[in-house]
Structure 1
Amino acid sequence: MKVTVHAERCVAAGQCVLLAPEVFDQREEDGVVLLLDDAPPAELHARVRESVAVCPAAAIDTVED
């Protein structure tokens, strides 16, 4: 899985960080998403997919291997 984020779309809801803190974080100054791991291990894929599904701004994309 390859993960990309679109910071310009992010509304700083933080759902991705709650679901997959190993993959996502938020900037201190404005809460915008930060991508920590663009190729997370298989055991995190389900949580990353859930993050994509719940993101209110559709700011996360994935491409499956």
Structure 2
Amino acid sequence: GGVPVQMDPTEHYTALSTGTIDAAISSINNIMPPWNLDEVADYAIVNTPATFNPVFYIMNKDRYNS
């Protein structure tokens, strides 16, 4: 199972790229510039019912396949 971690969205890029976190929930505004999470995440799930804003779930490909 997953363990929730509270983290400032500006730290998502480094945390995903180093394996500190395996996934993140973020708004569509954070995926592309300025934070470029598409560079460190292989998958994104769009428009989940968790919030009223468009949301992406981002996950490392190796962790997704494990």
TM-score of the aligned structures, taking structure 1 as reference length:
0.31
Structure of higher RCO (CA pairs closer than 8 Å, 6+ residues apart): 1
- Larger proportion of helix: 2
- Asked which structure has the greater CA Rg, the reply is 2
